[in-house]
Structure 1
Amino acid sequence: MRIGTLLDEPSGPDGLRELTDQLRQSAEEGFDSAWLLHTFGADALTALAVASSQVPDIAIGTAVVPTYPRHPGALAQQARTTALAAGADRLTLGIGLSHKIVIENMFGYDFDRPARHMKEYLSVLVPLLEGGAVSYSGELYNANLGLSIPDEGRVSLLLAALGTHMLRLAGRLADGTVLWMTGATSIREHIAPAITAAAAAAERPAPRIVCVLPVLVTDDVESARQKATETFSAYGSLPSYRAMMDREGVDGPTDLAIIGSEKQVAARIEAIFEAGATEFVGSVFDGGEPALRTRALLTSLTD
Structure 2
Amino acid sequence: MTAYSVLVPFVPSRPEQILPFAGLVHWTGAHRLWQGQSLATESHQGFAHAAGAGFRVPAGLGVTLMPLRHPTEAALQARSLSLMTGESVLAGYGPGAPSVQQALLGAPYRSPLTAAREYLTAVRSALTGSPDVLDGEYVHQEALLRAMPGPKVELGLGVLRPGMARVAGEVADAAITWLTPARYLRDHIVPAVRESAQKAGRPAPRVVAMVPVALAAPDRDPVQLALASNRNHLRAQHYRDMLRRGGVDLPDDVPEGTGPPGADEAVQGKALIAGDAFLYGEPDELLAKFDAFREAGVDEIVLNVTGVAHLFGPQTATQELRKLLALLDLVV
242 and 296 in structure 1: CA distance in 2 versus 1, 3 angstrom threshold: same
Deviation at 1:302, TM superposition (A): 5.7
Q: Tell me, in whole angstroms, the C-alpha distance in 1 between the residues paired with 2:240 and 2:121.
A: 29
Structure 1 residue identity aligned to 2:168: A
The correspondence for 2:127, drawn from 113, 116, 129, is 129
* Secondary structure, counterpart of 1:282 in structure 2: strand
Alpha-carbon distance in structure 2 between the residues aligned to 1:135 and 1:59: 31
Q: How far apart are the structure 2 equivalents of 1:218 and 1:291? A: 16
**Cα distance in 2, alignment partners of residues 37 and 276 from structure 1:** 23
Q: Which runs of 5+ in 1 are unaligned?
A: none
Structure-2-length-normalised TM-score: 0.82
Q: Who is 1:292 aligned against?
A: 319
Give the equivalent residue in structure 2 for 1:147. 145
Conserved 8 A contact 2:47-2:59: yes
Q: Does 1:301 align with 2:328?
A: yes
Give the equivalent residue in structure 1 for 2:5.
4
The farther-off stretch of 264-273 and 125-134 is 125-134
- The equivalent residue for 1:45 is 44
- Give the whole-Å Cα distance in 2 for the aligned partners of 1:278 and 1:24: 23
Quote how far apart the aligned CAs of 1:294 are: 4.7
Q: Return the letter of the residue paired with 2:279.
A: I
Task: Specify the alignment match of 2:197 in structure 1.
Answer: 199
How many angstroms apart in 1 are the aligned matches of 2:85 and 2:107? Answer: 32
Offset of 1:178 from its aligned partner? 0.6
Aligned counterpart, 1:263: 284
Q: What TM-score do the two structures reach when normalised by structure 1?
A: 0.90
Residues 105, 192 of structure 1: alpha-carbon distance in 2 compared, 3 angstrom cutoff: same
Inter-CA distance 134–46: structure 2 relative to 1 (3 Å threshold): farther
1:89-108 equivalent positions in 2, closer than 5 A = 90-105=88-103, 108=106
Alpha-carbon separation, structure 2, partners of 1:99 and 1:4: 26
Identify the residue that residue 235 of structure 1 maps to in structure 2.
233
Equivalenced residue count is: 300
Partner Cα distance (1:165, 1:143) in 2: 25
Task: Name the structure 1 match of 2:114.
Answer: 116
CA distance in 2, matches of 1:207, 1:302: 26
1:26 equivalenced with 2:15 (yes/no): no
Deviations along 1:102-161, one digit per CA (max 9) or x if unpaired, are 222466443332112112212311112234344111222211113146422321111011
Answer yes or no: is the 8 Å Cα contact 2:129–2:143 preserved in 1: no
CA change 1:49–1:271 in 2 (3 A) is same
Q: Does structure 1 conserve the Cα–Cα contact (< 8 Å) formed by 2:65 and 2:95?
A: yes
1:211 aligns with 2:209: yes
